[in-house]
Amino acid sequence: MALFAVFQTTFLLALLPLRTYESEVLSEPLLLTPESLKVSVNSTRQRLHLQWTVHSLAYHQELKMVFQIQISRFKTSNVIWVENYRTTVKRNRVLHWSWESKLPLECAAHFIRMRSMVDDARIPKPGFWSNWSSWEEADAQNSLGHDPLLVFPKDKLVEEGSNVTICYVSRIHRDNISCYLEGVQIYGEQLDRSVSAFELKNVSFIRKRGTNVFCKVDQGGALGGIVLFVSKVLEEPKDFSCETQDLKTLTCTWDPGSDTGLSKQPSQSYTLFESFSGKKTLCKHRNWCNWQVAQDSQETYNFTLVAENYLRKRSVSILFNLTQRVHPMTPYNLFPKNVGATNATMTWKVHSIGNNSTLLCQLELLAEGKVIQQHNVSIKVNGEYLLSELEPDTEYVARVRCAYTNHFWKWSELISQKFNTAEAAPSEAPDVWRNMKMVSGHPTVSLFWKPLSKVHANGKILFYNVIVENLDKPSRLEVLSIPAPTRSTELTLDQCSYQIHVTAHNSVGPSPASVIVISGDPGNEEVESGRVNGTEDGFSVSWKPQSGDATGYVVEWCDGPQDLPCALQWKNLGPNTTSTVISSGAFRPGVRYNFRIYEISAKRMAHLLEKKAGYLEELAPSDNPQVVMSNLTSHSFTLSWKDYSTESQPGFIQGYHVYLKPKAGEQCPPAFEKTVLPEDSLCCKHTIDNPEQKTFVVENLQPESVYEFFVTAYTSVGEGPLDAFTKITTLDEYSHILIRIILPMIFCVLIVMIICYLKHQWLKEKCYPDIPDPYKSSVLSLIKSKENPHLTIMNINDCVPDAIEVINKPEGSKIQFLGTRKSLTETEFTKPAYIYLLPTEKNYSGPGPCICFENFTYNQAASDFASCGHFPVTPQAPPHQLGPLTSPENLLKALEQNYMNSLGEIPAGEANLNYVSQLASSTSGDKDSLPTNPPEPALCSEYKMQMVIPLGLASAPPSENSSLSSTTLLGQGEHYR
């Protein structure tokens, strides 16, 4: 019974809690309050960590609950976050929840509380929130230190493009705090009296070493700062792939993208994970990683590459079969073998892959960078292939790459090898042309040939052989060997016909011969010249075939201007061709090119068919004709420019323009038309449309007028440059008549002057003899007619000049040439002494009467030196007439006056002689010898020597001490004569 009672009691006791639970769960709201709430702060991550438990739960009981969490900032009433956190709760299980704050936790105190509610489907009644837990404070400011101004978050690491909130805590409570990022002030929001926050949105990467953000109190206060690290966003690895070269090692590669390394954060790391084997490896390199292939014949691999930095993790995966990722190693030992002129054998080796694996190799042959042959060869280790159809003496590049035959994945890297094929004999005859000219009467042939192209030369051309064969008479062949690269030679031939063979030789042999026949009789190859138009493509030359048996045509031209040495060019054309386009890079605008078209006969002789001349592009003349003016008259003049060459101009000369500038207001002459020059001046222009007309007569001009002319040539493009005009003045209308008169007169005068000069002695004798002939004197006739008709002339035979009067003047006597009358009269006169010198007559026995002759035509100054002492000087002569005779004018006046005086004062009866001589004025130094008394008849006749003395000398005063005598004067007269 007791046992039953105990059992019953126990049963009841067991039921009691069950009932209680049922009553709680099923009938009453279940209230479970969170307990043991603890808050911790992670400043670096700016997170608040919460942990709590729910103790009220029954043992092993699990309930779904929702916890409402409230977070306040600065004060509990300032709720900034409310969140419902749902979780399954067990008894005594510690629950965790964390929250990241945008604002750095150091800048504000945070308060957290929560309440809970059962949110389990097993509880049918609607739940009720439990009571709030008490506020828990999370304050990170306690450990900040004592700095007056603090900026947070310290060393913040964020991704590019994210938002960051920066705050400062000021312990000095001032408003004048400003914050800067990269030197630029940032503006925020004041959260508290001492806290402000700045939200930086979409921050960008600046530099790896971070960016200083600082706040400072204006005007010398505190300064606090942080360094903000902005990382680039970690990119997903691109182009991730794995391959093997030997089926032993897998190499995985990828493109890592940007490096996210900073001072605060190392570069992103890469980890390779293989899911089938569960192995992973940390890659040592940014963009590749090796993976050792397992020995357990794993064929399929699933790799995941994980890139990771402090902020983010990125991954990429690939799944592949190992044998499908074989990338063979580069082949090696690629060499040419047995290289001939047209073939070569290439050999190479490959690295083996596994056992008995086969590789497919691709052999490519390149010439001048282009693939010309491609061959596929399957090999195991050694490869070999014969390349054929090669060109002689050509550089080739052979290259080989291989791929795994079982499953093509990738070609290996290429290996290349250069080689040269051997030489062969030239395959084509050289292109030969000739130029014939006569040198010293012998036909001389200049042979030209073009170098063979590389395709036809088949090697290096060493020399050219020229074989000259006389076709008219049998003779030895003349062989000339001309070393390359000479491309021409000159042959002097005779009048015979010759066949010339030209061959090119390389180290292997000669080329086929090029044959050309030179005729001994060049014939008359003059043909008419035509014109050819130049285009951008060149000159389009066409011709008319002459004979039907032409084997071809040759167009010949010179590449350079005519005045330069000709670089002969030619072009061979087929027999059916009648036109071609000649193009050359050497063609220049404004240069005249002459083309000759030859027909090649069946006998391989060339005959000139046509000549063409043309310009690639015609230009205006660059210079103007040198014009010569002639035949100038009063109404016309002739212009000529015959030296102007129309051939060497930069275009076909079509004619000339003659410009004439008449004097102002004058009309243009006929045949001229008015035109305006570029400098806007009016001008007359005449156009000559014949390029060969190089003279022009400008007519109908005004006499004695100034004209300006200028001649220029013109082409189809335009005329020459406007040069300076040449001035010309037409002649006076009568000037030519005057010239006809004056010129003969001048000529006659010249003749007379020459005659006079040559016959001056004769003229002198006739016109003005030294000793005048009294009979020819007109004076006598004058005297006779006026006064005394009985006067006669003394016969010279009547006077025997047998004595010379010597005037002996004592020394010390003063000669006063220019003295006063008194001085003249006071001068002591010395009587002359007479000396008998030359008795001319046998019957002359003694001194007879003497007659003195004087010639008045002579300069008194000279004659005074030898004046006769018996000179009849009139005392009435005014003294003043004696002085100023030093001047020539005075002297002449004196001469005239004295002459008249003499005529008037000498009475005819007083003289012993009827002859009246020409008397000079007695004003010379001889005056001191003159008698002061009136003249008396002299007893003897005295001849005074006639002297020609310049007037200047005549006026020169004699020296004071000069003694004057006839002999002395005679000597002087001889001296001056």
Which residues make up the interface to another protein (CB under 8 A)? 151, 154-155, 180, 182-183, 208-210, 212, 214, 216, 220, 222-227, 263-264
**CB-wise, 149 or 353, nearer to another protein?**
149
**CB-wise, 227 or 794, nearer to another protein?**
227
449 vs 431: CA distance, rounded Å: 5
Token digits for 777? 């004197």
Taking the complex as a whole, how short is the minimal distance between the CB of residue 184 and another protein, in angstroms?
10
Taking the complex as a whole, how short is the minimal distance between the CB of residue 170 and another protein, in angstroms?
14
343 vs 869: CA distance, rounded Å: 143
**CB-wise, 151 or 731, nearer to another protein?**
151
**CB-wise, 158 or 471, nearer to another protein?**
158
**CB-wise, 43 or 304, nearer to another protein?**
43
Taking the complex as a whole, how short is the minimal distance between the CB of residue 453 and another protein, in angstroms?
60
Taking the complex as a whole, how short is the minimal distance between the CB of residue 224 and another protein, in angstroms?
8
Checking phi first, is residue 529 left (phi over 0); if not, alpha (psi -120 to 50) or beta? beta
Taking the complex as a whole, how short is the minimal distance between the CB of residue 214 and another protein, in angstroms?
5
**CB-wise, 32 or 228, nearer to another protein?**
228
* Element holding 674 (H helix, E strand): strand 673-676
Give whole-number Cα distances, 750 to 600, 745, 795, in Å: 77, 8, 41
Cβ contacts of residue 634 below 8 Å, gap of 6+?
Answer: 701, 703, 704, 730, 731, 732, 733, 735, 736
Which residue from 625, 697, 632 is spatially nearest to 656, judged by alpha carbons?
Answer: 625
Cβ contacts of residue 561 below 8 Å, gap of 6+?
Answer: 588, 591, 592
Instruction: Say which DSSP state 27 is in.
Output: I
**CB-wise, 214 or 463, nearer to another protein?**
214
Which residue from 467, 522, 515 is spatially nearest to 495, judged by alpha carbons?
Answer: 522
Taking the complex as a whole, how short is the minimal distance between the CB of residue 263 and another protein, in angstroms?
5
Which residue from 19, 20, 23, 16 is spatially nearest to 125, judged by alpha carbons?
Answer: 23
**CB-wise, 209 or 248, nearer to another protein?**
209
Taking the complex as a whole, how short is the minimal distance between the CB of residue 199 and another protein, in angstroms?
20
At 142 the three-state DSSP class reads helix
Taking the complex as a whole, how short is the minimal distance between the CB of residue 280 and another protein, in angstroms?
29
- Rg (C-alpha) for the chain, rounded Å, is 71
Taking the complex as a whole, how short is the minimal distance between the CB of residue 213 and another protein, in angstroms?
9
**CB-wise, 220 or 678, nearer to another protein?**
220
| Cβ atoms 424, 458 nearer than 8 A | yes
**CB-wise, 97 or 180, nearer to another protein?**
180
Looking up tokens 């220019």 gives 818
**CB-wise, 71 or 157, nearer to another protein?**
157
**CB-wise, 171 or 531, nearer to another protein?**
171
Give whole-number Cα distances, 196 to 106, 122, 172, 271, in Å: 12, 49, 13, 42
Cβ contacts of residue 547 below 8 Å, gap of 6+?
Answer: 599, 601
Cβ contacts of residue 773 below 8 Å, gap of 6+?
Answer: none
Taking the complex as a whole, how short is the minimal distance between the CB of residue 380 and another protein, in angstroms?
52
| Cβ atoms 34, 114 nearer than 8 A | yes
Looking up tokens 């004709």 gives 625
* Spatial strand order in the sheet of 395-404: 370-379, 359-367, 395-404, 415-420
**CB-wise, 212 or 961, nearer to another protein?**
212
Taking the complex as a whole, how short is the minimal distance between the CB of residue 186 and another protein, in angstroms?
13
Taking the complex as a whole, how short is the minimal distance between the CB of residue 183 and another protein, in angstroms?
5
For residue 917, count other CB atoms closer than 10 A to its CB.
20
| Cβ atoms 406, 357 nearer than 8 A | yes
Taking the complex as a whole, how short is the minimal distance between the CB of residue 75 and another protein, in angstroms?
28
For residue 919, count other CB atoms closer than 10 A to its CB.
25
For residue 212, count other CB atoms closer than 10 A to its CB.
13
CA–centroid distance for 89 within its chain? 91
Taking the complex as a whole, how short is the minimal distance between the CB of residue 241 and another protein, in angstroms?
33
**CB-wise, 216 or 685, nearer to another protein?**
216
Buried-state track 433-467, b at ≥16 Cβ within 10 A, e below 16: bbbeeeeeeebebebbbeebeeebbbbebebbbbb
